Structure 1
């Protein structure tokens, strides 16, 4: 019986459908759950409430990964290179704090790695990186229709025009990190 070195990464790069689709293809990723974190209202928020921008939550994914297969640093490099970390509270046409670029760290080691990755990658971007680095807060799983969204709705317009190009970019930039399918 082999044991896995499972760890959690909580990240938000705009719409969670996009980031979920990317990380479902990453070697060493065991599970990806779309959800909400970072808000300031009591109770579990709904998609509609988060989309209003009034709850303070960001659309995020929680990635469970085997750290013996892929490092937290590699998770963050993939994250930072598959969305635009230089736009404040916006990804493409999606605007508002719920679409902010954010890394929610779960311990001091993750915080230090996040800071180092951003520092290292900043020289590759024309504009300053505005990705928020914050201590992990309560994670709320999104409604079932938001889980595995791309695979279940691949022909939908948003998927075809927004998510598919991100997957193509990911597959090209990080071919060595793809799951063997």
Structure 2
């Protein structure tokens, strides 16, 4: 049995790199969701005019990793209190968003958000919406960190998030990661 989680928390390269290492995750794909046009390009999304968020679509085995676990990691590796911004990345495409795929996912997300409100010093502004049309990002965005670990953005932005995940969730790293 496979479930899907669709999350946006800044640049999709960061989320993709972390979730690729999580035990129980079968596949992670970078893409776009939540916008107004079909099949947007990266350039169109970056313009802010389409309304899409950069997201990852995570296929996972719920017998190995729960949706709750996926969300707890999500709230650990990005800042859910900043509107349309993660670090130096700014724009609506970098918003914090959970696109739920079922009423059960919505209920779990609401519960986790309420619990995480005690962890953060500012209010959580993560958008919670039913899943919308998803578009796979261009091929050069897929597996980006694995292919370009020494590229500047990867070394200074993605790598620290992966390191934080590895430190905080060492018991959840997939064996081959």
Give me the TM-score of the superposition, normalised by structure 1. Answer: 0.96
| Partner SS state of residue 167, structure 1 | helix
Report whether the alignment pairs 1:143 with 2:135: no
- Aligned equivalent of 1:50: 45
Measure the CA separation in 2 of the matches of 1:15 and 1:55.
16
Q: 1:129 aligns with which of 113, 124, 127?
A: 124
Give the deviation of 1:20 after TM superposition.
0.2
Give the deviation of 1:177 after TM superposition.
1.0
Measure the CA separation in 1 of the matches of 2:104 and 2:33.
20
Could you tell me which runs of 5 or more consecutive residues in structure 2 were left unpaired when the two chains were aligned: none
Aligned CA RMSD, in angstroms, stands at 0.6
Measure the CA separation in 2 of the matches of 1:139 and 1:74.
23
Q: 1:95 aligns with which of 82, 90, 93?
A: 90
Aligned pair count reads 176
Report whether the alignment pairs 1:113 with 2:108: yes
Deviations 1:56-90 (A, max 9, x none): 00000000000000000000001111011110100
Give the deviation of 1:151 after TM superposition.
0.5
Measure the CA separation in 1 of the matches of 2:134 and 2:117.
28
- Aligned equivalent of 1:24: 20
Equivalent residue runs for 1:75-86 within 5 Å: 75-86=70-81
Could you tell me which runs of 5 or more consecutive residues in structure 1 were left unpaired when the two chains were aligned: none
Give me the TM-score of the superposition, normalised by structure 2. Answer: 0.98
Q: Where do 4+ consecutive residues of structure 1 move more than 3 Å? A: none
- Aligned equivalent of 1:6: 2
